[in-house]
Structure 1
Amino acid sequence: MAIREVVSADGTTIVYRVTGPADARPLVLLHGWSGTLRCWGRAADELAGSFRVIALDLRGHGYSDAPESGYDDPKNWAADVAAVLAAESVTADAILLGWSYGGIVLTDYLAAYGTGALAGVVYTGSQAGIGRGVPGAQPGPAMQKAIPDVFEESAGRAMRGFAAFGNANTGPGRDKGEDAQRLFGGSVATLPRVRKALFYRTVDNTETLRTLDVPVLVLHGTADPVVPVENGRYIADTVPTARTSYWEDAQHGLFIEDPSRFVGEITEFAAGLG
């Protein structure tokens, strides 16, 4: 395992972790809102058996820099991903995977840089755009319930807000308690101003989805209370090359709810890319 960093176009330092064989297909993991590169848990470890896994701390999250502004500019998010790919000399055959807000960042990258470095794209529990009135960007009931408390400076109010997510990121089961608490810890550690700033933008990436020329896999739980399954269906219906896997009664964090199935479906998708 190697922890590395790179400076993005606007001077923001992006921290990322690389695991797995150096000569394997790159799999770039983009976490969600108020997450970290550690959110992937056992699934990332298992994926590293077959892929060169590159997991980012998005700007404002984890150990990456948290600039005062710029979170409303899609070009900044796109440049962060591009900087990591360049630092790792990834020029072809990579898979870009976005979870939750990571799907927006993923699509920001596609809009700015295209698919030249990619063999495929995976959206899991995610959407491609953001903002009121943007198609395929409706927040789910758990997200609606969590706002505005999750933006609060007050620790008590912030914790109350995050409690609205419940087990959405892990699914039911006491065996996921450690995973749930790790995710909550990473969320609270994200600065309140960053949590809020990520929602201060409106981006409709529909045209980018319509013109994608690489295979796309959409994974989504039908009971996702954070990013409704309708958002995943919008991606699938818009992308010409999309295939889907809708997990019946599953929630938001499929890679924690059923790591083995998640790894299996990503591995199967990659095998079909040639």
Structure 2
Amino acid sequence: MAIREAVSADGTSIVYRVTGPEGARPLVLLHGWAGNLRNWGQAADLLAEHFRVLAVDLRGHGYSDAPETGYDDPKNWAADIAAVLANESITAGAILLGWSYGGIVLTDYLATYGAGAVAGVVYTGSMASIGRDVPGAVTGPAMVKAIPDVFEESSARAMRGFAAFGNANTGKGPDKGPDAQRLFGGSISTLPRVRKALFYRTVDNTETLRALDIPVLVMHGTADPVVPVENGRYIAETAPRARTSYWEDSLHGLFIEDPVRFVAEVTDFAAALS
């Protein structure tokens, strides 16, 4: 395992973790809003048996820099991913996998840089666009309930806001408590101004999806209360080469609910790529 740093176009430091065998297909993991590269848990270890896994701390999250401004510019998010790929000398064959907000970020990258370095993309519990009245960008009831408390600097209000997610990010079951606490801790450690800034932007990536000429896998829980399944269906209906895996009654964090199934589906998707 190696922790590395890339410098984005605007000077922002982007930290990422590399695991898995040299020479394996690169798989870039992009976490969600108020998350970090540790979100992936056991799934990251299992994926590293098949891929060269690059788990990224998005700007403003984890150990990456948190600039004061710029979160509303899709080109900044795109440049962050480009910087990581360049730092690893990846020019072709990569898979980009975005969870939740990470799906917006990977689509920002495709909109700016195209798919020359990318063989396929995976959206899991995610959307490709954001903003009020933007198609495919519906906010789920758990997120609605959490806002605006999750933007507050008051720790009590912030914790109350994040409590609204309950087990949405981890799925049901008594063994999910440690994962839920790990994700909760990462969310609280994300600066309040960053948590707020990520929601104060609007981008419609529909045309990028329509023009996408690489395979797409959409994985979505049908009971996702954070990013409703209709967002995943919108991606699948818009991207020409999309395939789907809808997990009946599953919630937001499929890679935590069932990491073995999650890894198997991503691996099968990768095996079908040229």
Provide the TM-score with structure 1 as the length reference.
Answer: 1.00
Matching residue's letter, 1:35: G
Supply the distance in 1 between the matched residues of 2:10 and 2:68 (Cα, whole angstroms).
12
Equivalent residue of 1:15, what SS? Answer: strand
Deviation at 1:22, TM superposition (A): 1.1
Deviation at 1:236, TM superposition (A): 0.3
- Listed one character per residue, the Cα deviations across residues 158-198 of structure 1 (whole Å, up to 9, x for unaligned) are 00000000000000011011111000000000000000000
Deviation at 1:250, TM superposition (A): 0.2
Q: For residue 47 of structure 1, what is the aligned residue in structure 2?
A: 47
- Listed one character per residue, the Cα deviations across residues 16-67 of structure 1 (whole Å, up to 9, x for unaligned) are 0000001100000000000000000000000000100001000000000000
Q: For residue 124 of structure 1, what is the aligned residue in structure 2?
A: 124
Equivalent residue of 2:132, what SS? Answer: coil
- Listed one character per residue, the Cα deviations across residues 181-226 of structure 1 (whole Å, up to 9, x for unaligned) are 0000000000000000001100000000000010000000000000
Equivalent residue of 2:166, what SS? Answer: coil
1:194-213 equivalence runs, <5 A:
194-213=194-213
Equivalent residue of 1:28, what SS? Answer: strand
Structure 2 residue 245 is matched with structure 1 residue 245: yes
Q: For residue 229 of structure 2, what is the aligned residue in structure 1?
A: 229
1:168-187 equivalence runs, <5 A:
168-187=168-187
Deviation at 1:123, TM superposition (A): 0.2
Structure 2 residue 214 is matched with structure 1 residue 214: yes
Q: For residue 161 of structure 1, what is the aligned residue in structure 2?
A: 161
Matching residue's letter, 1:48: A
Supply the distance in 2 between the matched residues of 1:245 and 1:46 (Cα, whole angstroms).
19
1:31-180 equivalence runs, <5 A:
31-180=31-180
Matching residue's letter, 1:116: G
Matching residue's letter, 2:261: R
- Listed one character per residue, the Cα deviations across residues 140-173 of structure 1 (whole Å, up to 9, x for unaligned) are 0000000000000000000000000000000001
Matching residue's letter, 2:62: G
Matching residue's letter, 1:79: A
Deviation at 1:11, TM superposition (A): 0.5
Point out 4+ residue stretches in structure 1 off by more than 6 angstroms: none
RMSD: 0.4
Equivalent residue of 1:97, what SS? Answer: strand
Matching residue's letter, 2:200: Y
Supply the distance in 2 between the matched residues of 1:117 and 1:212 (Cα, whole angstroms).
13
Identity of aligned residues (%): 82
Supply the distance in 1 between the matched residues of 2:7 and 2:54 (Cα, whole angstroms).
16
Matching residue's letter, 1:204: D
Supply the distance in 2 between the matched residues of 1:56 and 1:32 (Cα, whole angstroms).
11
Q: For residue 263 of structure 1, what is the aligned residue in structure 2?
A: 263
Q: For residue 29 of structure 2, what is the aligned residue in structure 1?
A: 29
Structure 2 residue 30 is matched with structure 1 residue 20: no
Matching residue's letter, 2:273: L
Supply the distance in 1 between the matched residues of 2:257 and 2:210 (Cα, whole angstroms).
30
Unaligned runs of 5+ in 2: none
